[in-house]
Amino acid sequence: DARVTQTPRDKVTEMGQEVTMRCQPILGHNTVFWYRQTMMQGLELLAYFRNRAPLDDSGMPKDRFSAEMPDATLATLKIQPSEPRDSAVYFCASGNYSGANYGYTFGSGTRLTVV
């Protein structure tokens, strides 16, 4: 089965440190999403890309978060500087947009703890 791969699986860091999360989407998928999940907020869309171009990053705090796709096989989400309120599970998902109906596959997530 094709998979979305996320690294690292778990990350504990101190407040103020830079955190980079990586995602390898499924080969051939043209759409990549970044979500954040907490108990209080549920799944929040942070940003998404189609054909590597950012389509919407309105869900992301711009002052500290940045998302990029340097190539079709890699998406990154960076937090600098990190804060305790950033603690959450960050999911990457990829899919192939070819019209109205499509599904997408999630990676296993990066569990981030900022202390």
Partner 1 sequence: RKEVEQDPGPFNVPEGATVAFNCTYSNSASQSFFWYRQDCRKEPKLLMSVYSSGNEDGRFTAQLNRASQYISLLIRDSKLSDSATYLCVVNMTRNSASKIIFGSGTRLSIRP
Q: Using an 8 Å Cβ cutoff, are 23 and 76 in contact?
A: yes
* Closest to partner 1 by CB, 17 or 97: 97
Q: Closest distance between partner 1 and the C-beta of residue 7, in Å?
A: 14
Give the shortest CB-16-to-partner 1 separation in angstroms.
27
Q: Is the dihedral of CA 37, 82, 4, 76 positive or negative?
A: positive
Least distance to partner 1, CB of residue 73, Å? 20
From the CB of 32, what's the least distance to partner 1, in Å? Answer: 11
Q: Could you write out the DSSP letters of every residue in 24-63?
A: EPPTT--EEEEEEEETTTEEEEEEEEETTEEEE-TTS-TT
Which residues would be at the binding site for partner 1 (CB under 8 A)? 33, 35, 42-43, 45, 48, 55-56, 91, 97, 100-109
Nearer to partner 1 by Cβ, of 25 and 107: the residue is 107
CA angle, 56 then 74 then 36, to 5°: 50
Say how far apart CA 115 and CA 109 lie, in whole Å. Answer: 19
- 80 vs 102, which CB is nearer to partner 1? 102
By C-beta, is 27 or 53 nearer to partner 1? 53
